[in-house]
Structure 1
Amino acid sequence: MEAELGLRPARQLSAWLDLATYQKMIRRADLAQRIRATRTDGPAAAPKALGARACRLGQEVYEASATVQLPDRARAMALRIEKHRNRWKVTALELG
């Protein structure tokens, strides 16, 4: 959420996202930045987590979801985390 809001550079997430998910995040952050550039309502406030859940699907696979409060609305997010070569990576990410 912070990358999409412009509070954190999306490139900081590269170590945590697989290539396809990272490219998707870069596109979303770029689009959000272009939309923000047309607005005059000031900088975005940091998101606040309202709740989160995690579910273990296997020895090296988890799925998680969270609800995040932004100044103007609440948003949902879901992700899949998989262990690959002794590193945990987000392999799917959906932001609502």
Structure 2
Amino acid sequence: MSTATAQPLHLSPASGWQPPALDECAVDTLYDDVVAASRDRRRGYSQPTLRVVLGAGEVDPHFGPQATRTSLLPEPRAWLQRTAGAILECMTGVRPVTQIARSVSPLVYERVHARSVIAKRRGARPLHRSLVRRVHVCEPDDGVIEASVVVQHDGRVRAMALRIVGVDGRWMVTAMELG
């Protein structure tokens, strides 16, 4: 009878090499290639991962924001007077910006928030409350209002231009300029 002798086990360290990380453009290109290849095969395609791209062009018409007619919305002059005053107070740091988040678009919110941060850093508080003197309204389309608002802000009379759009049963400021 012969006896087998066990050979000693030789362990070697694993390689430390790893492939480089892909940048976002490369991942998008690979994803698009996979989608194109699956469509070329004329078979059903099952998406392996969820790709979420938030953009104005890709909003679902049934589940995205819905336009609202002017007749179904509150009176725009009074709404603009209150909202313009609130925006000015947010820009000076008197009022938290989150209070107007539902009434303004994301772009306008970012601009007002940036002005609020600057005002808070300066530490200057307005001597008098902002006062909305006049609101002039123009309706270029149903559910769209363009307004020029005359305000007294920090001791000066200034002009504010606002565009509001009826969205989901409420007004929303989509553009704002302060002169």
Fold similarity call, TM over 0.5: yes
Matches for 1:49-68 after TM superposition, within 5 Å = 49-68=132-151
Deviation, structure 1 residue 81: 0.4
Matches for 1:18-33 after TM superposition, within 5 Å = 18-33=105-120
Any conservation in 2 of the 1:4–1:33 contact (CA below 8 Å)? no
Pick 1 or 2: higher relative contact order, CA cutoff 8 A, min separation 6. 1
Any conservation in 2 of the 1:17–1:89 contact (CA below 8 Å)? yes
Find the counterpart in structure 2 of residue 48 from structure 1: 131
Paired with 2:142 and 2:154, the residues of 1 have a C-alpha distance of 37
Alignment of 1:86 onto 2:169: yes
Provide TM-score, normalisation by structure 1: 0.83
Q: Percent identity?
A: 35
Paired with 2:135 and 2:166, the residues of 1 have a C-alpha distance of 20
Q: Secondary structure at the match of 2:103?
A: coil
Count residues in correspondence: 91
Any conservation in 2 of the 1:65–1:78 contact (CA below 8 Å)? yes
Computing the radius of gyration from Cα coordinates, the structure with the larger value is: 2
Paired with 2:91 and 2:149, the residues of 1 have a C-alpha distance of 16
Q: Cα 1:31–1:86, aligned 2, differ >3 Å: closer, same or farther? A: same
**1:1-48 deviations in Å (ceiling 9; x for gaps):** 11112221111000100111111111111112222x2x5xxx422111
Q: Cα 1:90–1:71, aligned 2, differ >3 Å: closer, same or farther? A: closer
Provide TM-score, normalisation by structure 2: 0.47
Q: Secondary structure at the match of 1:57?
A: strand
Large movers: runs of 4+ above 4 Å = none
Deviation, structure 1 residue 71: 4.3
